[in-house]
Chains A and B, each alone.
Chain A
Amino acid sequence: MSELLKSLQEAILTIDEETALSATQELLDSGMEPEEILESGMTGALLELGRRWNCGEAFLPEVVAAAGIFERCSAIVEPALLAKGDRKVSDKAVIATVKGDLHDLGKNIVGAMLKTVGLEVHDLGKNVPTEKIIEAVKELEPKIIGLSALLTTTMPEQENVIKALEEAGLRSGVKVMVGGAPVTQEWADRIGADGYAPNAPEAVRVALALTQVAA
């Protein structure tokens, strides 16, 4: 990996926005393919962030700040991608905190990170009724939806959304991911979700895997 790519990753991880932005610009100027900057540079940093999160090394403020830097770095790369003209229309992701739940910190972080890996993210907000999610799926035809629930009492809403998708005949066209503190892989399997992640960086990895399968 080039020194510059390394310094981009390091800058993201140490929340050094200035260096991260200038490294991104320099990489572009040096002629590196924009996809490569996104995939090797930023996704690499994302994976490392996930590792640090799991062992407690990184914490919420760092992850939120890193997500912000990700967003602004990808904004620098974006015009180059478009200019190349061979950028395929982005896959769409719809994310929401389910009905009855007002916790949106985790969902917001996932949203910011999904944008950086090239997904077009539609964030429906928090306390979102199932009907609104179904409407959004009909209208936007996303590849993937992410449902967050932070309370044991609102987890069943994730299942309700999946059932409603089935009833509306939309289930086969979309991948469903679930997350939130009380959510487990076991729960995800039980309600028939396609993916689960215990933290934001991992969610991005799972989302990418699911959209690529779906592509």
Chain B
Amino acid sequence: MTEVVQVCFLPERLVSEVPRGTTVFVAAHWVDLPIDSTCGGLGTCGRCRVRLGDHQFPINAVDREWLTPVELSQGWRLACRAEVEQDLECWVPEPMRMPLSAIAGRGRAVTVEPAVRKLLVELVLGDSEQWDAVERELRRALADSGLGSVELVPDVVQETSEFLRDTGSEVTLTVCDEHLLDVEPGNTTSRCYGLAIDLGTTTVVGSLIDLAKGEVLAEKSLLNRQAVFGADVISRIAYTTGSDTRRQEMQIAALETLNQLIIGLSDESGVDERQIYQAIVVGNPTMLHLMLGIDAQPIAVAPFVTTFSREKDFEAAELKLAIHPGARVQTLPFIGAYVGADTVGGLHAIDLLRSEKRRLFVDVGTNTEIVLGSSDGVWASSAPAGPAFEGGRIRDGMMASEGAIYRVKLGERVELSVVGDGAPKGICGSGLIQAIAELGRVGLLEPSGRLRRIEEVPDHPLVSRLVEIDGVRAFQLAENVVLTQVDIREVQAAKGAISTGIAVLLETAGIGIEDLDEVALAGSFGSAIDPASARALGLVPPVELEKIQSVGNTALEGAKMALLSFRERQIARGIPSRVEYVELSAMPDFNDRYLTELSFPLEEGP
């Protein structure tokens, strides 16, 4: 029998009972205690530091890479490497807090024509409450409303014949697409709801919508509970590879996140979950594969393909989602293995395919989606930017939660804006971009990405901020927050991937930078980023500043539109067939292009 040991997490005194040999990282996961990590417990990010009660706890080689001898002697270890052999107390510094994320985005007004319809009808049954009479009457009522092709489900007919004995013959039918979902006694036509969900790798955002009025009742965002299995899609897929159990575990984590979101939305709005009849879910291909329990492995190895790419349509009960069991859960299709339903939603929201304006759409993230075009033609690609913009692999990097520096202004002195206005604890993606752009502007950083040495700029007003930490040069932003030369290299590597993607698409489409009418920055990061800094770093091409627009969470907007109108959903479903996917990793000269895109354009100036 496996021996069980207890890990007591402080300060909450949460106790996790786990088999001997389990890591502290996994033990925390068992009790739902989030521990910061961007690698998902692989021992490569060094973020999951915890302080153990037992200061003599064995030190792993990886611990030595990330922790100083003093820290080690104080009991600090990496949670993902610390295998628990006996009962242990463990102090977790500050649990990862909910990052700020964009909920709203730029969308378009649509005519409310949802696929879900409620019909108030009178069933004429005479004295018969028999099954066949009920069935006949339901068919007639549907046919009278022009819905003769809708399927009848035996359970619904059965339930109807049961309640009809006790109630009047006035009933409300709920139909979604070709499915009769429910028959309720009396008139419930005003209570008809739907969900639009953007299932992101890091953050999951949901919107509860009154389909009768076309109004948003509540919006919420949560961290994806899959995060413990890895921060990015590749590590999530790696976790599930070759194991059905792990694939199920991953699916359950996604569905639990959605249920948590649903409960939150229904609490906030007072809506009965059972009157939610449709959910449109968008997300990247990996997230949708994992949510549906479908093998995602082919996405993560060459030649990088999805197991499915068309839209899916499930009954909520099959997925154990806590809405009406017959509700339809529908996804939007994918354009490529790394350009998914979230991008399809985004393109639909800004109507990129039907507008004559030539636009570049960039959704910056660990995987950055890039789409270029107009009604004349559309090209899409994706660039693996890595976690730098989410604060990953950055010395003092963090998500955009409390204490994160999100704006940096350099002049005679350093001006910072911090989330929550408290003391700075670290720097998030938008702060990082602006810090680098500002260092360039004030002449402390070369376009090659090299920080200047003190000897090179002895009279600079900020020279005292140039420091060296463990042999690495850095710029001191705040008392305990620095931006190191190595961090800048991480940002360059990420930026290089994105600008290579943009350059390749512009070339493929034969569109010049001067021909661009707009650069749309999508996603949470896209709405937080300062356009001038993005341009100074070369994250977007050198266009006039007013052409750079933050469009917010367009993925969710697209999902809302598809929910509010079945016609809009039809149009969104047709998007992939009109977009040409360009695979960057298959380009023979990718490496050379990438190397030339690593430098920053930077704009020195007042």
Contact = CB atoms under 8 A, between A and B. Distances in A.
B234 A57 contact: no
Contacts of A102: 302, 585-586
A29 interface: no
Given A152-B234, A186-B61, A59 B591 contact: no
A153 B598 CA distance: 26
Nearest to A105: B591
Interface in A39-64: 54-57, 59-61, 64
Interface string B293-336: 00001001110000000000000000000000000000000000
A6 to B, nearest CB: 20
B472 A61 contact: no
Contact of B598 (A54, A61, A154): A61
A71 to B, nearest CB: 16
A55 B485 contact: yes
B335 to A, nearest CB: 19
Contacts of A184: 42-44, 62
Contacts of B598: 59-61
Say whether chain A's binding surface is mostly helix, strand, loop, or mixed.
Answer: loop
A104 interface: yes
A77 B493 CA distance: 34
Contacts of B586: 102
A55 B241 contact: no
B601 interface: no
B59 to A, nearest CB: 13
Interface string B238-271: 1001000000000000000000000000000000
Interface in B442-488: 448-450, 471-473, 484-488
Contacts of B43: 184, 186
Nearest to A106: B591
B302 A182 contact: no
A156 B241 CA distance: 10
B594 A56 contact: no
B594 A152 contact: no
A57 B450 contact: yes
Interface string B491-520: 011000000000000000000000000000
**Candidate in B230, B471, B591 with the most chain A CB atoms within 10 angstroms:** B591
A185 interface: yes
A56 B301 contact: no
B489 interface: yes
A101 interface: yes
Contacts of B42: 152, 182, 184
A59 B596 CA distance: 12
Nearest to A109: B591
Contacts of A154: 300-301
Contacts of A174: none
A201 to B, nearest CB: 15
B414 interface: no
A134 interface: no
A108 B487 CA distance: 24
Interface string B269-303: 00000000000000000000000000001001110
A61 B596 CA distance: 8
Nearest to B471: A55
A100 B301 contact: yes
Contacts of A4: none
A153 to B, nearest CB: 4
B65 to A, nearest CB: 9
A191 interface: no
B486 A55 contact: yes
Nearest to A65: B595
Given A55-B485, A153-B297, A184-B43, A101 B595 contact: no
Given A59-B450, A61-B448, A105-B594, 5 more contacts: A56-B473, A100-B301, A152-B235, A152-B300, A185-B61
Interface of A: 54-57, 59-61, 64, 99-105, 108, 127, 151-156, 182, 184-186
7 contacts: A56-B484, A57-B485, A64-B595, A104-B591, A153-B241, A155-B238, A185-B61
